Amino acid sequence: MSVALIGLPGSGKTTVGRQLARRLQLPFVDSDHEIEIRIGCSIREFFEREGEVRFRDIEEEVLDTLTQAPAKVVSTGGGSVLRAANRQHLRERGRVVYLKSTPEELFRRLRHDTNRPLLQVADPLLKLKNLFAERDPLYREVAHFVLETGRPSVSTLVNMIMMQLELSAHQNKG
């Protein structure tokens, strides 16, 4: 079974996803990386040239492919939950873990990051607060598990996910 990690930009989806994949002995795939391979440039360039709607179209196609078998760990883009089709594919085709971070935590982690197109604004903290308000209900709708990413280390988060997956496997058998 596949595991998808969702959450705002900077919540740790790629970092946690890589370690989780190693623990589960599954391939790791970063959906944003797969999109960049497909479009032949950075997401930031594509965003500027083609706009967000066109980007979301490609993201939807890539996620549809990635959420199908075989099993893997998928790190999704922060906005992947904006489309109903993506939410449905993620929820129905695997286990979804929402790495929940506060906008303030994310701002601390991301304030020097120039590669995230949505944060290249005058007030990135306000942008993160708005993204959180918009997306948190969608993340919760899709997630099988919600993990607060505040203080735990990456390995602690991976252990917490492993426990959740094991618990849900036992519950599904009973």
Could you tell me which residues are annotated as the binding site for substrate? 32, 56, 78, 135
Binding residues for Mg(2+): 14
Burial class (CB in 10 A: 0-12, 13-18, 19+), 130: middle
Report how far residue 3's alpha carbon sits from residue 67's, in angstroms, rounded to the nearest whole number: 9
Annotated binding site: 10-15, 32, 56, 78, 116, 135
CB count, 10 Å around CB of 158?
21
| One-character DSSP codes across 5-21 | EE-STTSSHHHHHHHHH
